Amino acid sequence: MTKKISIIFLAFTLLFSINAKADEGMWLLTMLNKNYDDMKAKGFKLTPEDIYSVNNTSVKDAIVIFGRGCTGEIVSAEGLLLTNHHCGYGQIQEHSTVAHDYLKHGFWAENKEAELPNPGLSVKFLVKMEDVSFDILKNVTDKMTESEREAGIKEAIDKLTKKAQKEYKMEDSYLTLVKPFFNSNAYYLIVYQEYKDVRFVGAPPSSIGKYGHDTDNWMWPRHTADFSIFRVYMSPDGKPAEYSPDNIPYKPKHFLPVSIKGYEKGDFTMIMGFPGRTNRYMTSFGVDQTLESSNPNRIKIRGKKQELMMEDMKADPKVNIQYASKFSRSSNYWKYSIGQNKGLKKLNVLKKKKELEKRFTKWLASDKNKTEKYGKALDLIKNPYNDKKEIAYAQQYIVECFIYGTEYLSLAKKSKNLFEYLSGNDAVGKKEDIIKNLQKNADKFFKDYNAPTDKKVSLAMLQMFTEDVDKKYFPDFINNIDDYEKYINDIFANSIFVDKTKFDKFLKDPKLDIIKNDPAYIAFQTTFAKYGELKSQTAELDEKMARGKRLYLAGLMEMDKTKFFYPDANFTMRLTYGTVGNYSPKDGVIYEHQTTLKGVIEKHIPGDWEFNLPQKLIDLYNAKDYGKYGVNGTMPVCFTSNNDITGGNSGSPIMNANGELLGLAFDGNWEAMSGDIAFETELQKTISVDIRYVLFIIDKYAGATHLIEEMKIVE
């Protein structure tokens, strides 16, 4: 058995070890030896060991997971960290008030004592990543059901994780996990070290850091200084620690030198970061669902929600601060969904996927053994898509309209443990601890909550859900409503979950009858009950689909042995490499690879919420006061390269051949929004803010020269 498994994994490794392409691919750092010759041919000056090493310092030691879904990089010996403005947006918003509106005016800490703590924010450094596929899969067989297979894999993962935790002495700062790759055909053990004292250092005003807002989002040419600055702290004895005034700046194993030498078209670039999710091996059945259901639903529901939010944000500065981050989170993938559908249709991705599946079926027919092994793969994917189409539609509406769309339900959900305790279940914890934690959550919730806004949105979401979804998928609370507007009015007149005074009073003397009969809590209970019911109905179909996807990808890799396969993104560290360059989105149009401050000024519209510039930036432009960051009388702003990124890469460093920082990746281009499903070599671009523009804003605009002095500037 052991010999058979070894042969399988030797073959599996060979399947993705040749013919690398420079533009497409999110490469695992442990496999860079396979890419090394190609990278050198493109201009790479380092070695794979310089990029990833467990025993020595390497570039990976300067790259972090920032918060829950972004990337950041350390740029000084004192733990200074750069990430995107939109990645730090939540922290900027949390620190903002009408009196001190950092979203509007920006923020720059004059010294370390003025840097602002962020409870709940952390960064994670990759310690090591190890292929453990053999250990995880050695006891599974093709004869197992998917449930049996998953149970065996879970047992192996638990055993391996406990071993890793023991190795790292189970210190709180170390996180060990095993993640699947290649649709669960391979597994890697990953170890992180987490630092929980991360302080806000600086950010430009949104008129610079989010210049262009929704109109320019995903678009080129781009003119956004999408950066913010934080600092990582550690305990005086050099260990990760919770926030304390006694903590000192983190001393990194490695930090990135900052290059102001610039770049030329065709120059080598590489990006390291944590891409969130791609579906490059999605079948035509998944593409069809994306085109016809998933994206249109998201576009419709979020579009209405954002319209109502924006009305109140424009009318009230306080509401604008409260909802800025919420609106941004919603609108980002709303617009992405619009662009993705356009790209999928324009680039005939559905047709290409069907052609690949036809070739796969033909390949299977040529060999009885292949048919026996992979012959059911496509049906195992297609049939569940068809059988759960209606349920998937309803599930998405529940999520978008209620779980994401109705704010008071989120506070009701956070109150579940208290409800359980009051109902007699003391296993959920001590009453004092439950109330203390809930009070903390409630204070945070109400700080950024405007009941009139939630009321408008909630009514619209309820009406849209009932108009678009079959009644058999309604949560029970809806079935008892005669008049939707009257129902919403009743909630906002009587519920404790929409009024801080009422909620605080309830927490001082919580009674089961109050929460049990609260209409908002009833809505939460029945909504999540219905969602869970639908999920259980599709459990068997989901198992079949997972098996089909695993077999299909394994079959593709066996069919195309000369193709270099890489795993889909799953928020693990990857490297992508390519070159700086322009592109042609359509006949007769060529987009240059770089934008300048001149273009920023050309877009300026006085008083416009998306394109209104601070006068000081206009004055610096008029005076051509660019310092050492300008080039021949111009100020570079953003640039494009053909690196392969997706969500999660936001804030990732884009580096030159020497591993020096050229800029921060922050977006993809509109014409290739289909890229998470099908990479388009001719169109796919990464948009990055030039580090020289970042330094110019820090130095000449903000006067925060002390931050520049921390960095190692390469001229």
Burial of 14 (0-12, 13-18, 19+ CB in 10 A): exposed
Residue 346 C-beta-side C-alpha neighbours within 13 Å: 16
Contact by Cβ (8 Å): 532, 162: no
Choice among 50, 61, 85, 86 that is catalytic: 86
351-365 residues labelled b (16+ CB within 10 A) or e (exposed): eebbebbeebeebbe
Burial of 511 (0-12, 13-18, 19+ CB in 10 A): exposed
SS3 per residue for 572-583: CCEEEEEEECCE
Which among 308, 339, 338, 300 has a CA at the least distance from the CA of 326? 308
- Residue 179 is classified by DSSP as E
* 226 catalytically annotated: yes
Task: At 490, list the tokens.
Answer: 């009743």
Choice among 61, 197, 214, 226 that is catalytic: 226
Amino acid at 524: F
- Coil, strand or helix: which one is 571? coil
Contact by Cβ (8 Å): 124, 64: yes
What lies within 8 Å, CB to CB, of 386 at 6+ separation is: 285
Amino acid at 468: D
SS3 per residue for 628-661: HHCECCECEEEEEECCCCCCCCCCCEEECCCCCE
State the Cα–Cα distance between residues 502 and 384, nearest whole angstrom: 46
- Residue 55 is classified by DSSP as S
Torsion sign over Cα 159, 165, 168, 174 = positive
Beta carbons within 10 angstroms of residue 317's beta carbon: 13
78-98 residues labelled b (16+ CB within 10 A) or e (exposed): bbbbbbbbbbbbbbbbbbbee
- Catalytic residue IDs: 86, 226, 650
